[in-house]
Amino acid sequence: MKKYNLPLFSVFLLFDWSLATEFSPVIETTKGPVKGLVLTTIRESKKYHSYRGIPYGKPPVGYLRFKSFEKS
């Protein structure tokens, strides 16, 4: 029985990963597609879409404080 544990776990892990990637929302931007996640709030169990790692302009600190934005 023990020799079947690792292959069975591997199949389960791949199946779980395929379901997670299948239902990930993808949005199109001018810089290309951005893949997100569907997450759930802790208290009210509401679902929301989360997009992380989107590059924005440089933060307005130091010499950039009163200037126009610059791309990062």
Torsion of CA 38, 39, 40, 46, to 10 degrees: -40
More confidently predicted of 26 and 5:
26
Q: What is the CA radius of gyration of the chain?
A: 20
Q: Please state whether the predicted TM-score (pTM) of the whole model is above 0.75.
A: no
What is the pLDDT at residue 22? 55
Listed by start position, the domains of the chain span 23-64
Summarize pLDDT for 17-63 with one digit per residue, the tens: 555 545 778 889 887 888 898 888 999 989 888 988 787 777 788 88
The DSSP symbol for 38 reads E
Residue 11 binned pLDDT confidence (cut-offs 50, 70, 90): low
